[in-house]
Chain A
Amino acid sequence: MEENNKKHMNRRKFLKVFGTGVAATTALYACGPNGKQNEERIYNKTDVPTDKMTYRTNPHTGDKVSLLGYGCMRWPLKTNAAGEEEVDQDAVNDLIDYAIAHGVNYFDTSPRYVRGMSEKVTGIALSRHPRDKYFIATKMSNQSEDPYLRSREGSIAMYRKSMEDLQVNYFDYYLLHSIGGGDDGIETYNNRFIDNGILDFLLKEREAGRIRNLGWSFHGDIKVFDHLLASGVKWDFAMIQLNYVDWKNASGFNFNAEYLYGELTRHNVPAVVMEPLLGGRLSRLNQHSLSILKQIRPEDSPANWAFRYAGSPENVLTVLSGMTYMEHLQENIRTYSPLERLNDREYKALEEVTELMLRSDYVPCTECQYCMPCPYGINIPSIFSHYNRCLTEGNVPKDSQDENYRKSRRAFLIGYDRSVPKLRQADHCIHCNQCIPDCPQRINIPQQMDKINKYVEQLKING
């Protein structure tokens, strides 16, 4: 009871600060000793701590890695004078400076990210800081079926280019990018890393100290995952997809995170977590799910929950988030400064939310953009994201007898035209199937496009 009252007070004060701004804060300062406690609480709410970040220790190198890792695949874009889109370097500098100032020290990129611009801009921003203030992770991204890229020369050239673009002479973390892909996972793995001697090359680089930690990121074929752990190579870390939906209910060809995490822990390989939010899907919940979570922690967002979930297991080295906006960065820093582990009741609540998610018809797209650009101009991630968002908001009416049919129909169709230009919508997908191998979630994109388009047609016809 006492506890509740305090909390209530606190919230009211919090609102007051928002309402009256600086005046309220100064007034509180004037409150004297009695006001002290409240002042501190308010400070915690509105500001982002710089020195409370949770760190995990890498058992192999003793690195103290911040639990929040920065994924450099979603940097903000802007249109330059020539009308082309480019990464907004100033914004990236601000984000990285802020992240470092607040204790984030792990930065994960790849030669493929942000249309190939990520390493360069990340390098520019990071090189403004002392080299021992941050850990760099990048990848051997030779997954596309380009014979040169998969040759020894091509792959080594990619490795050296990364060093040059990131302006470093050693990598803290280096990954074999997206193993488990391809029609035959093992064959693709051998083709990318074994036959051309690239794995040997990378192991030598590790010996030479130019790679401090060698690992891999995994999507897809579980045989490759098991094969690598059993291969006898000493892996310093591995990156897996982990979130409360994937823990036991991974979609498509993905494997349950429970198994992946368990295996990594058994082999003493620290886990780097990707997709803690499933490409943002776990940050937008429907009313029902939201109420379950808000009931327990009214002030926390769904993203808070998802990050706490991903950060709770002890063998997780860092949780990556591709943060485009300062607000997201701030929120995530707050979540992990310090991490408050989930309790049993909270785990239960997330299980309930997972149940609700599984019952609906989401497309498991994380908007990673690997499928883009579609040669026929389809905006694949935007179509899926619109569809998923409408599902969340209850704007996917199933039946014209539904209560809100007309309203939802309008919201779905107008929103569709707003998020995706007509010529880039699902009806223009020709089913050439070129995107299918690119999708790490193994979504049958053309089939999903067909499903969404049939749905759109049905809405249009049953006006």
Chain B
Amino acid sequence: MLKRIRIITAFIFFALLTLLFLDFTGTLHIWFGWMAKIQFLPAILALNVGIIIFLILLTLIFGRVYCSVICPLGIFQDAISWVAGKRKKYRFSYSRAINWLRYAVLVIFIIALIAGISVIVSILDPYSAYGRIASNLFAPLYQGMNNLFAYLAERFDSYAFYSVDIWIKSISTFVISIVTFIVIAVLAWRNGRTYCNTICPVGTILGFLSRFSIFKIRFNNSTCNNCGLCERVCKASCINPEEHKIDYSRCVSCMNCISACRKESLKYIPKFKPEKAVKTTGENVADNSRRKFLAVTAALAATSAIKAQISKVDGGLAIIEDKKIPKRSTYIIPPGSESLKHFSQHCTACQLCVSVCPNQILRPSNDISRLMQPEMSYERGFCRPECTKCSEVCPNGAIKRISKEDKSSTQIGNAIWIMHNCVVITDDVDCGNCARHCPAGAILMVSRDMDDPNSRQIPAVDTERCIGCGACEYLCPSRPLSAIYVEGHERHKFI
């Protein structure tokens, strides 16, 4: 029964959390955005005291249920381990905890967190690691499927689906996601929760707390016949049946052992309760509930032909060269993230904001000092005035919630005009597209030749008004490099 509850809850959490990364329309976030916000490290970084206390209490009362039902990476490992278990049952065995490694990783993690070495924090944080896998590996499949539906919808003149661009937003992040995926999958396939109990810093912290938890799985020595079945179903390898001992720092309260025990010798009971046999019914519920997991894995493994959106270049149309990312001396981060320092200290590179950005602006950085943390660029769109999606979804408080009004008065950077790229100069044509589309009215058109008021007009930026949204950069006809581009601000300014 307990195992069934665990599996159903975990399934719901896992499915919805994954969908948060897949849903590019941002509608799910309104309802389930909190699921990302109750993740351990994001809550700490966002200084979300209520959630931190809740998670600590949860662990002190029920043990590491967080790792079993809330952490998406944990559930992901269970799913893989379950598939592996189909091939070979009863494959686990007890092993000693590798404490030196666990604590060493935790120490490194804490040092990195304090010193602001974001790469290490990002790589080790389990929620963010899963986020990257979901947004880099699962999202393209999901979008491919969506585009297939959009293609069909178009044939039927329906507007139920619309097609989205699928592109690799950062090679390094993509590669790291693949490596993480492979490492986690191999470890989970072979030994269940190895990662959670030897590397994961969140697992180590919670494991420390769960040793003191009220509810624990306990042996009833009188009925146990030392068959060792519990040991062989324990994916955390934490049950030592010979000594009738369980390493509670590693137990994730998955309840597998309780279901497996034929003598009902294992009970999940509070510490102070006298240990007496409680009759339970329905021994075989586990097998039925397993099918639920099949559904999850099947959904994940479902492949579809990815229909990359190839823009149809009609021969009667001029070829449009792709834009190149300009070299910015200061990178740009979204409104709400206040300063580069605040942002890099709080972001764990979970990619949630990257997944929801409807304008294709946010992408993970390739810069080693802030690897995988998002940054902005305007080749495919600009930061539209009506959108504050990234600030709504960020669980870490790296991008703080911002209203549309505040956003339109936040300067995240300012535009810079480069004369020798401007089509007014190079093609000798009238343009002014940057000024025409500037939502802040920060670009004036002035005569190129100040003595001749009839000469062609060139743009001049009013940096006091410019908010750095990138409309000018995106809509500039100069290719591959725009003649007007945005330089970020170290600290955002409010006007």
Contacts and interface: CB of A to CB of B under 8 A. Distances in A.
B259 to A, nearest CB: 48
Interface stretch (A37-45, A97-105, A175-183, A425-433): A425-433
B317 A415 contact: no
Interface in B338-397: 380-381, 384-386
Most chain B Cβ neighbours within 10 Å, of A77, A377, A434: A377
B468 interface: no
A64 to B, nearest CB: 36
B54 to A, nearest CB: 34
A306 to B, nearest CB: 23
A372 B159 contact: no
A434 B477 CA distance: 15
B185 interface: no
Specify the main secondary structure of chain B where it touches its partner. loop
B315 to A, nearest CB: 4
Interface in B426-484: 427, 429-433, 436-437, 475, 477
Q: For chain A, give the interface size range.
A: 35 or more
Interface string B305-324: 00000011011111110000
Interface string B207-232: 00000000000000000000000000
A461 B385 contact: yes
B431 A373 contact: no
B406 interface: no
Contacts of A423: 311, 320
A85 B433 CA distance: 31
Contact of A418 (B163, B380, B384, B423): B163
B318 A376 contact: yes
B163 A431 contact: no
B494 interface: no
B162 A421 contact: no
**Residue of B380, B385, B432, B433 with highest tally of chain A CB at under 10 A:** B433
Contacts of B315: 77, 84-86, 115
B386 A460 contact: yes
A375 B162 CA distance: 28
Contact of A431 (B317, B320, B433): B433
B250 to A, nearest CB: 49
Contact of B429 (A410, A414, A432): A432
A152 interface: no
A84 B317 CA distance: 12
B320 A418 contact: no
A430 B429 contact: yes
A320 to B, nearest CB: 21
Interface string A35-77: 0000000000000000000000000000000000000000001
Interface in A336-383: 369, 372-377, 379
B361 to A, nearest CB: 13
A461 B436 CA distance: 17
Contacts of B319: 377
A399 interface: no
Contacts of B436: 431, 450
B162 A414 contact: yes
Interface in A400-435: 410-411, 414-415, 417-418, 421-424, 427-434
A298 interface: no
A373 B317 contact: yes
Interface in A290-325: none
Nearest to A462: B386
B314 A85 contact: yes
B275 interface: no
Contact of A376 (B163, B311, B477): B477
A382 to B, nearest CB: 9
A430 B431 contact: yes
B154 interface: yes
A85 B314 CA distance: 7
A21 interface: no
B441 to A, nearest CB: 14
B320 A427 contact: no
Nearest to A461: B386
A379 B314 contact: yes
A424 B314 CA distance: 11
A67 B114 CA distance: 85
Contacts of B423: 430, 432
A463 interface: yes
Contact of B316 (A372, A417, A434): A372
Contacts of B311: 421, 423
B475 A427 contact: yes
Nearest to A434: B429
Contact of B477 (A410, A417, A428): A428
14 contacts: A77-B315, A373-B316, A375-B318, A376-B477, A377-B318, A377-B319, A379-B317, A411-B159, A421-B312, A423-B311, A424-B317, A424-B320, A430-B433, A432-B423
A-B pairs, 8 with minimum CB distance: A85-B315, A432-B429, A377-B320, A421-B311, A430-B431, A414-B162, A430-B433, A377-B318
Interface of A: 77, 84-86, 115, 369, 372-377, 379, 410-411, 414-415, 417-418, 421-424, 427-434, 450, 460-461, 463
Given A85-B315, A417-B163, A431-B432, 16 more contacts: A373-B317, A373-B318, A374-B318, A375-B427, A376-B318, A376-B477, A377-B317, A379-B317, A411-B159, A414-B159, A423-B311, A424-B320, A431-B431, A432-B423, A432-B429, A460-B384
